[in-house]
Structure 1
Amino acid sequence: MSTLTMGKQSRLNLSGKGAGRNKTRKRPKSGTTLLTGGRSPRRLAGAGKFMVRLVMASLVLSLVAVLGVGLLFGYRYITAHPYFDLKVIRVAGNDRLSREDILDISKVGLGLNCLNMNVGEVKNRLDANPWIDSVTVRRELPNRLLITVREKVPAFWTRQGDGLYFADARGRVIAPMHPGEQASLPVLSVAEDLSDAPDVLSGVLKKMADRETPFTQAQAAWIKLTSAHELEIYLDGAGNGQGLTVKLSMDRWEVQLERLKVVWRDLLRRNEFDDAAIIAASGDKIWIKKRSAHAAG
């Protein structure tokens, strides 16, 4: 009995069919099944990150929208609140234009919301007026507006076509003269193509203002800058109302003016001033044309 049992065991071990079959056959790993038949972990992780980013972007956009609506509501609230309504409007620097003119031009008034007002547009409206040289507009919260203007100062009347216009000290046209407007200004006439005319005009007017001339701007009826490059000033009240013309070269008018002042004083000292019809400079000399038509030097 013992021998048979060992023989059977030997045959079984020698054939090895069951044992060999069990050793060679391997079960597939779970990782192999995921790689061949399903999605990889890397792809799943990327999809998860994309979803997170999408959710975050949606939250940010929602927050921005809420903030935008809140800011809009807040802006509308404060620009309609009576706390910011204008209660004080100060206008300074105006002379020719009245306070009412300034407010009408700028289109501002008491009760206008200080925050809802466009200061730049107010300034542009005032700058467009021909009489305003420069302007500053400043608001002081909560309810004050300050407007400071510098007006153009008329120095002459000048003709353009059939109209009479105001002009500044450099001969630049300011605005047309309207019926009812009054001013004691000399009439200006300037020949064409005189590039130095503005400097000569402003220089002569400054001399008059500083009392460095024997006559004033108010005494001048007209001032001409001629094509011969001469400066002519007609004083209608001089010579007992008979008038006097002063002529200077535009190139040397300052030097010639100093010499003219000496001759002017000499004529007054000798009581001959009223006899002079023209006092003119020629080079370095001053000559006088008397009313009797003969010249004297």
Structure 2
Amino acid sequence: MSTLTMNNQGRLGLGGKRGNSLHRRKPSTSRSLSHSGFSGSVFAGAGRMVVRLVMTMLVLSLVAVLGVGLLYGYRVLTSHPYFALDEIHVTGNTRVSRGDILKAAGVGLGLNSFEMKVDLVERKISDNPWVKSATVRREFPNRLRIAVVEKVPAFWLRQGDAMYFADAAGRVIAPMHPGEFASLPVLNVAEGVDDGGPVLAGLLRKMEQRQTPFTQSQVAWVRLTSAHDLEIHLDAQEGGLTLRLSMDRWEVQLDRLKVVWRDLMRRGEFADAAIIAASGDKVWIKKRPTQGA
């Protein structure tokens, strides 16, 4: 019995050793691996930062070189005699002299083309009251073209004690100076009448298109009255002839007036008329007084 017991104990002891060897674990290496990965990422991040810094410095250096090159090139272009103006052509001007245009523009022969600002030159020329618009064009290397569109006077307009040139809509262009002459009708606009521009422009257009029985050279004066009437005085005959139309219906009434005009001419009574006035749908005639009456 004792021998058996010992063998069992031996087996049990041996079994216990096996159990111990089966549950024994190898030392963990996870900590050492984590540490080396962190070190590698630090070095990689530092490398990328260095590369970015180098690239940034290269870009800045390139920009600086280009800036210096452009500045040098600009100075060469704006100072080289090859681009100095030796031809300046001015067209479209009749009232404004070539000298006044060049003086206002601030340009002249010898000026470098690249030093001139085209939009600024156009604005300076357009500041002249007679200039409606100006176009400036450079033709490299040394030519400049200035095209001017001037305002066209259609009336003399009295304001206070002075006379002014006015355009087709009755807008003031410039004062009339002594010695200036033009065969234009005198325009009188009653105070408070500020909607006569389209009427005046339309009347001039019809005269230019010969849709009126009179010409612009026959018109002595034009008046826009406070009663909203359009009056036209003609020097066509002794004593003159005054035509009166309503501003709001002047085109329709002008057509009716032309019918009466032709009828008076046909009957030989035109010279007796002093006023031909359209009122509503009718046309009235006022004859001039007979001599000795």
SS at match of 2:113: coil
Aligned to 1:212: 211
SS at match of 2:168: coil
Amino acid at match of 1:104: K
Match of 1:290 among 271, 287, 292: 287
Aligned to 1:49: 48
Structure 1: runs of 5+ lacking an equivalent = 1-28
Query: Map of 1:76-115 to 2, 5 A cutoff?
Result: 76-115=75-114
Offset at 1:192?
Answer: 4.5
Moved more, 249-258 or 165-174: 249-258
Identity between Structure 1 and Structure 2 (%): 66
Moved more, 280-289 or 58-67: 280-289
Structure 2: runs of 5+ lacking an equivalent = 1-28
Aligned to 1:275: 272
CA offsets 1:202-256 (integer angstroms, 9 cap, x no match): 1111111122222222222211111212110112x2322x222111122222222
Aligned to 1:15: none
Aligned to 1:73: 72
User: Partners in 2 of 1:87 and 1:264 — Cα distance?
Assistant: 60
Aligned to 1:245: 242
Aligned to 2:227: 228
Amino acid at match of 1:288: I
User: Partners in 1 of 2:225 and 2:109 — Cα distance?
Assistant: 52
* Alignment RMSD (CA, Å): 2.8
Moved more, 140-149 or 260-269: 260-269
Moved more, 261-270 or 80-89: 261-270
Offset at 1:288?
Answer: 1.7
User: Partners in 1 of 2:109 and 2:219 — Cα distance?
Assistant: 45
Offset at 1:49?
Answer: 2.1
Moved more, 272-281 or 71-80: 272-281
Amino acid at match of 1:239: Q
SS at match of 2:181: coil
How many residues in Structure 1 have an aligned counterpart in Structure 2? 265
Match of 1:257 among 254, 258, 276: 254
Offset at 1:87?
Answer: 2.1
Matched, 1:149 2:153: no
Q: Is the 8 A contact 1:234 1:245 kept in 2?
A: yes
Query: Map of 1:160-239 to 2, 5 A cutoff?
Result: 160-194=159-193, 196-235=195-234, 237-239=235-237
Aligned to 1:64: 63
User: Partners in 2 of 1:136 and 1:257 — Cα distance?
Assistant: 40
Q: Is the 8 A contact 1:239 1:276 kept in 2?
A: no
Moved more, 261-270 or 77-86: 261-270
Q: Is the 8 A contact 1:238 1:274 kept in 2?
A: no
User: Partners in 2 of 1:283 and 1:70 — Cα distance?
Assistant: 78
TM-score, with structure 2 as normaliser? 0.81
Offset at 1:261?
Answer: 2.3
Offset at 1:163?
Answer: 2.3
Offset at 1:196?
Answer: 4.1
User: Partners in 2 of 1:178 and 1:104 — Cα distance?
Assistant: 21
SS at match of 2:254: helix
Runs of 4+ in 1 over 6 A off after TM superposition: none
User: Partners in 1 of 2:52 and 2:236 — Cα distance?
Assistant: 93
Offset at 1:152?
Answer: 0.8
